Amino acid sequence: QKEVEQDPGPLSVPEGAIVSLNCTYSNSAFQYFMWYRQYSRKGPELLMYTYSSGNKEDGRFTAQVDKSSKYISLFIRDSQPSDSATYLCAMIGSGSARQLTFGSGTQLTVLP
């Protein structure tokens, strides 16, 4: 079983929709949670970073962490065609502070 599970999609939504992307994990040592965005044929780039449980908002993006359920989410409001990309969750545990563990990524397409 993978430490981090992510629905690969693909997910296709109309412009303006609210998008929910999710990851589950099994390692309770994970303390720091990130979302990376990867455009086609490009390297990933950091989108959001959260520590422990709770919500963090940045513009149209909200990252949510529920450590009791080992579940993290990324919400995109008023989605735009420019949001079309693959979204990867990533995590670090305090015992592995030099390595990120990535989910497999969810491919999102926002249709104009």
Partner 1 sequence: NAGVTQTPKFQVLKTGQSMTLQCAQDMNHNSMYWYRQDPGMGLRLIYYSASEGTTDKGEVPNGYNVSRLNKREFSLRLESAAPSQTSVYFCASSERRQLITNTGELFFGEGSRLTVL
Residue 15 or 45: which CB sits closer to partner 1? 45
Residue 41 or 59: which CB sits closer to partner 1? 41
Binding site for partner 1 (CB under 8 A): 4, 6, 8, 31-32, 34, 41-46, 49, 88, 90, 92, 94, 97-100, 102-105
Q: How far is the CB of 86 from partner 1 (least distance, A)?
A: 10
Long-range contact pairs involving 78-84 (C-beta distance under 8 Å, separation at least 24): 78/16, 78/18, 79/13, 79/15, 79/16, 79/17, 79/18, 79/19, 79/110, 80/15, 80/110, 81/15, 81/110, 81/111, 81/112, 82/110, 83/19, 83/108, 83/110, 84/108, 84/109, 84/110
Residue 82 or 98: which CB sits closer to partner 1? 98
Q: How far is the CB of 81 from partner 1 (least distance, A)?
A: 22
